[in-house]
Amino acid sequence: MSTRPDTDQYRELFLNDIPLMDVRAPVEFARGSFPNTVNAPLMNDEERHRVGICYKEKGQDEAIRLGHQLVAGDIKAERIAAWKRFALEHPEGYLFCFRGGLRSRLTQQWMREAGIEYPLVKGGYKALRRFLIDTLDDIVRSGTFHIISGRTGTGKTRVLHEMPNPIDLEGLANHRGSSFGRQVTPQPSQIDFENALAVAMLKASEKGGPIYLEDESRLVGRCALPLDLRERMSSAPLLILERPLNERIDIIREDYVEDMVKAFRERDGEAAGWENFRDYLLSALDRIHKRLGGDRHQHLRQVMEQALTEQAATGDPTGHNDWIKSLLTDYYDPMYDYQLSQKSGRIVTAGGPRDLVDWAALAETA
C-alpha cells in the first residue's frame, strides 16, 4: 500500500464519503461520530478509564506505560488485525482519534510495524466536528430553503424525495416525527444526527439552488433540530401537499401498519414481531391519550384492538382504516388547519404530488 499523507481536507472527506476509522473508545463513539465511520478502538472503555486516572495522578509517561501494558499480546494483535482489515478494505480511508494526537499516532505506528502505512485526519474528531458545526451554521444562515407542508398522511416524505435538492430530516433522525413515528431501529444520538445533517447540508449546498425540507417541529422524535435552522424553516416559502382523505388513509396504513409489522417480524421473528408491533401501535395511541380525551382515546383503542385481532386472524390490515380516519379528521386535521392559518402568507403553491414536483422543476429553470 503506497504512502498517502495525513489530511486536513475535511470538506473533501465528507463530500466524497471517504471511509473513516475512529480509534476512540466505544463510549466516545457512542456519543457521536460521523457518517461512513467504523469504530476500531485502540483501547476499550475500561482500559481508557484506567489510563485516564493514571494520567491525572502520575502524568503522561506513566499513562502511556500503563496503556502498553493493558493493550499487549493477543489483545494488541486482535486490534491490529481489525485495523489491517479496515485499511485493506478501504485503501482510500483515514483514521482519527479525538485530537489527532497520541492515539492516532500510536495506531499508525503499530500498523506500520505490521506492514501497513495508513494516514490520519489532522486534528481528529474535534477538528472534524468543528468543521461540521461551522459548515451547518454557514449554510443555514446563507442558504435558501423551501418547505413541503401538508396534512398528516399526504405523503410529504415521498414527494420530498422527488424534489431537485432534498434533505430528509426524518430519515436522518430515523423517526417519522409523530407519536407513531418510532422505527424498529434506534434513533441516532443527537451528535450523530447533527453531524449527518451537516454533511447532508454540505452536499446539498454544493448542488446549488433551494434546499427542500419537510415541515417539522423542533423535535423529530428525540433528535432536536438546530434552533437557527428551525427559525429559517419557520419563515421559508411553503409548498402545500394535498391529497383526498381516502389516499391519506391508505398512506398511513401502509407506513404505520403494513410496513411496520413487516419490519418488526423481520427483526424479531413471526410471533415476537407481531406482539412487538401490536405494542408499538397501542403505545403510540396511548401517548396522545390526554390530548385525545379519555372517551375518544378509549373508543379509538377499542377500534384499534379489533383491527389488530382481525389482522392477526386474516392478515387483512384494512380494519385499521376506521381509527386512522377518525384520528386524521378529528385530531390531526384541526391541529394542522390552525397551524396553517398562521402561515398563509408564506404559501407559494398548493396541489397534488405532481403539481409540487412540476412547480419545483419550473423554479429550477426560472
Which residues are the active-site residues? 97
Amino acid identity of residue 302, one-letter, is Q
The cell numbers describing 48, all together, are 481508557
Is residue 215 within 8 A of residue 156, CB to CB? The reply is yes
Half-sphere exposure of residue 307: CA atoms within 13 angstroms, side-chain side: 21
Q: Which of 39, 12, 42 is nearest to 104 (CA)?
A: 42
Residue 312 identity = A
Q: Indicate if the alpha-carbon torsion angle 172, 120, 130, 26 is positive or negative.
A: positive
Q: Are 256 and 281 in contact (CB under 8 A)?
A: yes
Question: Cα angle at 47 between 43 and 52, to 5 degrees?
Answer: 105
Cell digits of residue 184: 424498529
| Strand runs labelled E in the chain | 20-22, 37-39, 94-96, 145-150, 211-214, 219-220, 223-224, 238-241, 347-351
What is the full DSSP assignment across 6-71? -B--HHHHHHTT--EEE-S-HHHHHH---TTEEE--SS-HHHHHHHHHHHHHH-HHHHHHHHHHHS
